[in-house]
Amino acid sequence: MTPVRDSDTMQRDGFMTIPFPAELCERMTQHIHGHIRQATDIPITENAPVEELTRAVARLSDDGFVEQFRKPLRMFPHELGGAVAEWIGSLAGFLGGSRSGINYISPAEHDANPTLQATSHDVFWRCVRPGKPDVGQAHADFQFWEINRGTPLDPPSPFPYDERWKIWLPLLGCDATNSLEVLKGSHREDIPLESIQTKYGTKPAIRMDWLAANEHRFFCPLPQFHHHCVLFHDKLVHRGPANATSHLRISGELTILLKL
């Protein structure tokens, strides 16, 4: 069997859909319920539907949302992140390497969330409210690594590695109209990259005229959303679109480090 990184699909498109363990999805979802319950101080029912979670989060002001849903606070707990890292470690041969894993959280993130450990894995979730500007610009993930290199946001690695891959996991409120969008094959193209200054620091971006010319190429790559995720090259251009639904969109993310 051809390893994923060498498959015709991955070489051509830069992404593919693979199964994600159901038990881990369930544990991640339960943690998110608990965070929203604590952040909003609203007694959310166990296994609450996304509509109930949406009503709870809507009680927060925009500033309150930003404060309670900062990335360091959206890290999955040390034990759960470790369980995800253990699964990723089992994929080395499938991916086409000798070892696979997940980077640790950055020193800055550890300082911002001391409930985590320095060796907690960088496995986190995103929450996008309906009708709110909770998304960033289209980008390729390797840009974050270049921008953060040598800074307190530079995440340490558990071992030397040769390649990085990304996983995006739909968890709650995700469908084909409201989820990750990618530009097929863009990992092989010469993209006009930029960086921009925001109130949250330096962020990656792509020249706007190029994005406008390629807008028609963006599409959601997931044919199914139940216990499946998108595995993609860290140079693939992608984005989280604005949430045009009436409910929250919640997804999980992590970077895979691959030693060949």
Indicate left, alpha or beta for 96 from its phi (over 0: left) and psi (-120 to 50: alpha).
left
Query: What is the pLDDT at residue 204?
Result: 87
Q: What is the pLDDT of residues 157-206, one digit of tens each?
A: 999 999 999 999 999 999 998 999 999 999 999 999 988 887 777 888 89
Find out if CATH 2.60.120.620 is the number for domain 4-259: yes
Best CA proximity match to 153, nearest among 72, 76, 238? 72
Give the mean model confidence (pLDDT) for residues 99-114. 97
Query: What is the pLDDT at residue 145?
Result: 95
Give the mean model confidence (pLDDT) for residues 233-250. 96
- Name the residue ranges covered by the structural domains of the chain: 4-259
Best CA proximity match to 14, nearest among 181, 235, 163? 235
For the beta carbon of residue 136, count every other beta carbon within 10 angstroms: 14
| pTM, two decimal places | 0.96
Q: Using DSSP bridges, classify how beta strands 228-233 and 218-219 pair: parallel, antiparallel or unpaired.
A: unpaired
Helices (H), 120-201: 142-148
Query: What is the pLDDT at residue 258?
Result: 98
CB 151 within 8 A of CB 251: no
Residue 25 CB-half CA count within 13 A: 16
CB 173 within 8 A of CB 123: no
Please state, rounded to an integer, the average pLDDT across all residues of the chain: 95
Q: How many helices (H) and strands (E) does the chain have?
A: 9, 11
What does the block give as tokens for 106?
A: 């950055």
DSSP-derived secondary structure letter, 14: S
For the beta carbon of residue 139, count every other beta carbon within 10 angstroms: 20
Residue 34 CB-half CA count within 13 A: 11
What does the block give as tokens for 258?
A: 């691959």
Query: What is the pLDDT at residue 198?
Result: 79
- Percent of the chain at pLDDT > 70 equals 100
Query: What is the pLDDT at residue 202?
Result: 82
Residues in the chain: 260
> Residue type at 200?
Y
- Percent of the chain at pLDDT > 90 equals 90
Query: What is the pLDDT at residue 225?
Result: 85
CB 231 within 8 A of CB 15: yes
